[in-house]
Amino acid sequence: MPMGHTATAEAGSEGLTVKEHRLDNGLRVVLSEDHLTPVAAVCLWYDVGSRHEVEGRTGLAHLFEHLMFQGSKQVSGNGHFELVQGAGGSLNGTTSWERTNYFETMPAHQLELALWLEADRMGSLLFALDQKNLDNQRDVVKNERRQRYDNVPYGTAFERIFRLAYPEGHPYRHTPIGSMEDLEAASLEDARQFFRTYYAPNNAVLSIVGDIDPEQTLAWVEKYFGSIPSYDGKPQPRDGGLPDVIGEQHREVVEEKVPARALMAAYRLPEDGTRACDAADLALAILGGGESSRLYNRLVRRDRTAVTAGFGLLRLAGSPSLAWMDVKTSGDVEVPVIEAAVDEELARFAEEGPTAEEMERAHAQLEREWLDRLGTVAGRADELCRFAVLFGDPKLALTAVDRVLDVTAEEVQEVAKARLRPDNRAVLVYEPVDDDADDAADDEAESAATDADATTDENEESAK
């Protein structure tokens, strides 16, 4: 059987190697051996996310991800979960703006089962998909939405800030969870069409990492996935390109029953995959990562005006990335006091740049994060898929940390100066209201607010 093209490269850190292959139907396969522990991770990224959704159908990509766990031709009902867990494996799927991923981590001798399961649903989901599954998972997803967004303080902050940071009609303006109305409106035909359009082998990357025999593994992949037909009708996603800066400050004040005032902001940053995005990552680590950052030292330690203060980075490849700042105020401190201090710190940073010691700390922190991410077979499999889908080359995952370490203080200062400015941000302010506020507000307040802890997870919805 013709097995397409295979390339091997010695790639980067710790002697890890990556083998790439493409089946005739277009499925890209990435293999990486690691025999330290008898486990194997399977990760499948489909190049579809909430940015591909159309108006009136927000949340469809994520709802669909749930439907992928409801059986296929040879797998009944919850069989996917049952078989993987019964084999001693763990599994899940998540949906973000730019991709949907599915993953199983298996004891190495159960690897073939995971491949068989993934192939069965890629090739035959529509045999099992029915109205009953759709209605049930629609209810589950609505409860997921309530649990993670609507029923917790600040839970809808992320959604609100995306609506402020991206213009009307932009593909990244809505978050993957979608709206209640759109979830309600999703039909069986929508789900079927979504599957036909996006769940084809030539729109996916499959990575397999761990205690594997590459030849045997590739033979299994060919056997199970090789006959699934490709599909050429996938529409181009809407263009996510935007000017470098927003150009003016967008602002929303939310009056809700929350425990404290909050100042949140999103800044528009360079796209993922660029050197400038890595520089921004370092800038945000210095300004708002951990307990030695500038904002933490200023607001929590010195001024004592905040209970928490930090920055996070949401990397996006098809649209500008976002810096996400979250400050919860202490006691009765008013938001303008916090805002003035934040502006002062950002302006000072843009003016002076980072110190050598700050650069050393930020490099060390981001290096450890990469070691953590690549320290498990599942983490490595996910990163290989990420770089293959978003940037065309999985091997870039193994050198990502070197690129971050290569960024200079001047580049960090440059991106801060260009991007962390008041005219390049969307601001969300929370002002608490009393219990006794008019009941009529409750309908609106169905979309209250976030858990500070959950910020890093908020770009992903998960099936489990």
Partner 1 sequence: MTELATMDFHPQPQAGEARPWAFPAPERGTLDNGLTVLRCHRPGQQVVAVEVLLDAPLDAEPAGLDGVATIMTRAFSEGTDKHSAEEFAAELERCGATLDSHADHPGVRLSLEVPVSRLGKALGLLADALRAPAFADSEIERLVANRLDEIPHETANPGRRAAKELSKQLFPADSRMSRPRQGTEETVASIDSAAVRAFYERHVRPATATAVIVGDLTGVDLDALLGDTLGAWTGSPAKPRTMPAVSADDTGRVVIVDRPGAVQTQLLIGRVGVDRHDRVWPAQVLGTYCLGGTLTSRLDRVLREEKGYTYGVRAFGQVLRSAPDGSGVSMLAISGSVDTPNTGPALDDLWTVLRTLAAGGLTDAERDVAVQNLVGVAPLKFETAAAVASTLADQVEQHLPDDYQSTLYRQLAATGTVEATAAVVSAFPVDRLVTVLVGDAAQIEEPVRALGIGEVTVVPAE
- Name which of residues 269 to 328 contact partner 1 (CB under 8 A): 290-292, 297, 300-301, 304, 307, 328
Q: Identify which of residues 339 and 369 has a Cβ nearer to partner 1 in the complex.
A: 369
Tell me how far, at minimum, the Cβ of 333 lies from partner 1, in Å.
Answer: 10
The site string for partner 1 over 155-174 (x = CB under 8 A, - otherwise) reads --------------------
368 belongs to the binding site for partner 1 (CB under 8 A): yes
Q: Could you tell me which stretch among 108-116, 181-189, 241-249, 341-349 binds partner 1 (CB under 8 A)?
A: 108-116
Q: Identify which of residues 143 and 456 has a Cβ nearer to partner 1 in the complex.
A: 143
Closest of 165, 207, 154, 254 to residue 46, by C-alpha: 207
181 belongs to the binding site for partner 1 (CB under 8 A): no
The length of the chain, given as a count of residues: 464
Q: Identify which of residues 109 and 251 has a Cβ nearer to partner 1 in the complex.
A: 109
Structure tokens at 359: 């650069």
105 belongs to the binding site for partner 1 (CB under 8 A): yes
The site string for partner 1 over 327-346 (x = CB under 8 A, - otherwise) reads -x-xx---------------
Q: Which residues contact 329 (CB under 8 A, 6 or more apart)?
A: 260, 261, 262, 263, 305, 306, 307, 335, 338
- The footprint of partner 1 on residues 246-265 (CB under 8 A) is 257-260
- The footprint of partner 1 on residues 409-438 (CB under 8 A) is 435
- Between CA 79 and CA 439 the distance in angstroms is 45
CB-CB contact of 228 with 201 (8 Å)? yes
Rounded to 5 degrees, φ, ψ at 289 are -110, 120
- Between CA 71 and CA 76 the distance in angstroms is 5
Number of residues that bind partner 1 (CB under 8 A): 96
Closest of 346, 314, 46 to residue 166, by C-alpha: 314
- The footprint of partner 1 on residues 17-46 (CB under 8 A) is 34, 36-39
Tell me how far, at minimum, the Cβ of 107 lies from partner 1, in Å.
Answer: 6
Among 21, 142, 419, 421, binds partner 1 (CB under 8 A): 142
Among 10, 244, 248, 360, binds partner 1 (CB under 8 A): 360
Among 76, 131, 227, 456, binds partner 1 (CB under 8 A): 227
Tell me how far, at minimum, the Cβ of 246 lies from partner 1, in Å.
Answer: 30
Among 17, 90, 179, 197, binds partner 1 (CB under 8 A): 90
Tell me how far, at minimum, the Cβ of 96 lies from partner 1, in Å.
Answer: 18
14 belongs to the binding site for partner 1 (CB under 8 A): yes
Closest of 266, 283, 308 to residue 407, by C-alpha: 283
113 belongs to the binding site for partner 1 (CB under 8 A): yes
- Between CA 442 and CA 298 the distance in angstroms is 36
| Amino acid found at 323 | A
Q: Identify which of residues 94 and 319 has a Cβ nearer to partner 1 in the complex.
A: 94
Asked about 222 being catalytic, the answer comes back as no
Q: Identify which of residues 80 and 173 has a Cβ nearer to partner 1 in the complex.
A: 80
Q: Which residues of 46-69 are buried (b: 16+ CB within 10 A; e: fewer)?
A: bbbbbbbbeeebbbbbbbbbbbbb
CB-CB contact of 300 with 288 (8 Å)? no
Tell me how far, at minimum, the Cβ of 170 lies from partner 1, in Å.
Answer: 28
CB-CB contact of 110 with 86 (8 Å)? no
Tell me how far, at minimum, the Cβ of 130 lies from partner 1, in Å.
Answer: 10
Residue 149 exposed, middle or buried by CB count within 10 Å (0-12, 13-18, 19+):
buried
Tell me how far, at minimum, the Cβ of 229 lies from partner 1, in Å.
Answer: 5
Tell me how far, at minimum, the Cβ of 134 lies from partner 1, in Å.
Answer: 11
241 belongs to the binding site for partner 1 (CB under 8 A): no
One of 33, 53, 55, 65 is an active-site residue; which one?
Answer: 65
Catalytic residues: 65
